[in-house]
Amino acid sequence: MRCPFCAHPESKVVDSRPSDEGASIRRRRECLECHKRFTTYETMESLPLVVVKKDGSRQTFDKNKVLNGMLRACEKRPVPFSKLEEIADEIEQALQNAMDREIPTAKIGELVMERLKNVDEVAYVRFASVYRQFKDISTFMSELSKLLEEK
């Protein structure tokens, strides 16, 4: 690590501690040449996830879009916001852990529905009705009957 004061290429770590709730490491360093101290932060590199939409267009993954979709599905339902944030974090982590950098929207939608089904069935049906674009009452009823069969 180059010293920001004299540009000497070597320094020693004086102190090291977690920062940002464990997301990075804060290191206090001392230059071996001029003996001035400076701080560096070490963070894990994360590759951006790209979402492939139905029309073939691509955009970067945005966890807030997933969260907003779940919020609309859970409107006026007894689902705490913290639970929805937890689900959004789980989905993002699952996508990061998969080695694919390009994820189709269908996969994201399935992950959301899978988790909403366990949290609130009404929210699950609401999300599924928008996500799967139910055209008529029969497709809606078939999804409901699948849900009832699982119980």
* DSSP for 81-129, written as a single string: HHHHHHHHHHHHHHHHHSS-SEEEHHHHHHHHHHHHHHH-HHHHHHHHH
* 55 and 92 share one domain: yes
pLDDT score, position 135: 67
- Greater model confidence, 27 or 147: 27
* Domain contains 124: yes
Is the confidence at residue 134, as pLDDT, over 80?
A: no
Count the domains in the chain.
2
Structure tokens, 146: 């699948």
* 22 and 95 share one domain: no
* 68 and 111 share one domain: yes
The residues, any chain, with a CB within 8 Å of residue 144's CB and separated by 6 or more, are 125
pLDDT score, position 51: 94
What is the residue range of 27's domain? 11-43
Band of pLDDT at residue 28, cut at 50, 70 and 90: very high
* 34 and 68 share one domain: no
* 36 and 106 share one domain: no
Is the confidence at residue 136, as pLDDT, over 80?
A: no
* 135 and 70 share one domain: yes
Q: What is the pLDDT of residues 5-25, one digit of tens each?
A: 999 999 999 999 998 777 789
* 90 and 110 share one domain: yes
Q: pTM to 2 decimals?
A: 0.64
Q: What is the pLDDT of residues 44-61, one digit of tens each?
A: 777 789 999 989 999 999
* 63 and 133 share one domain: yes
Q: What is the arithmetic mean of pLDDT over 63-76?
A: 94
Q: What is the arithmetic mean of pLDDT over 76-93?
A: 92
* 35 and 87 share one domain: no
* 137 and 106 share one domain: yes
- Greater model confidence, 45 or 114: 114
